[in-house]
Amino acid sequence: MSNETPTGAITNHNLISCIDELSLQDFDDLTSCTHIATRSADLIQNRFANSHYWLDEYIRTLMFFGWSLHEGAITTRTRIDISGSVADFLVQSAQTMGDPRQGNAMIDTLDALKPDRLATLSLDEESLKGRRFQVAPSRYDSRGNLHMAVFNLELIAHTEQSRFLFWPWETKSAKIVQQRAFLKLDRSVLDTKRQLMTAKLREQVMKRFALRQRKP
């Protein structure tokens, strides 16, 4: 087993990407919190029928485990026409976030995901081929605080496609609807919840695909 932190991960309908190399502890905490928050929200709302309320519950669970919501707000829904692949759209979106490393991290994560058949199949199944999925870029700030941006996404298309992230959508054949939230982790709060987090993870089977770039 590699001791290197993965480039990213797939868990549930979430695609996580990491800027630079997170510590293994932070990587595990990030994916565990994401998984528990997803399952918690799934118990309250149907993520395919009511994404707005589902995302509210998802964020509330993250906040319980020590994540603070930037300015206390989730951005409003926006619709975007896409031309080409959803993967290209994700890279372009990451490149507009102000930190040039965001785009590079997303490229590395998608490059690691593309040849991983089991991970792409799992994402297809969990998201119903893109009907609802999330992308979560993560990074450290200059003080070592862990940040995560959550993009809650819906793919609206004329047809369903396997490997929806990499399918070359024609112009005006698909749209992305998205909401965004930005969070920062308070590790001291999370540390007080570790016993509960461990218990939750024992109750639930977490399917996690670690994404690593193949070395030449």
DSSP states along the chain: ---SPPSEEEETTEEEEESS---HHHHHHHHHHHHHHHHHHHHHS-TTT-HHHHHHHHHHHHHHTTEEEGGG-PPPPEEEEEEE-HHHHHHHHHHTSS-HHHHHHHHHHHHHHTT-HHHHHHHHHHHTTTTSEEEEEEEE-TT--EEEEEEEEEEEESS--TTGGG--EEEEEEEEEEEEEEEEE-HHHHHHTHHHHHHHHHHS---EEEE-PPP-
Tens-digit pLDDT profile for residues 155-169: 999 899 999 999 999
CATH assignment of 8-210?
3.40.198
Q: Is residue 138 over pLDDT 90?
A: yes
Tens-digit pLDDT profile for residues 168-215: 998 888 999 999 999 999 999 999 999 999 999 998 878 899 998 765
Show me where the domains of the chain are located.
8-210
Tens-digit pLDDT profile for residues 5-42: 898 999 999 999 998 789 999 999 999 999 999 999 99
pTM of the model: 0.92
Share of the chain above pLDDT 90, in %: 74
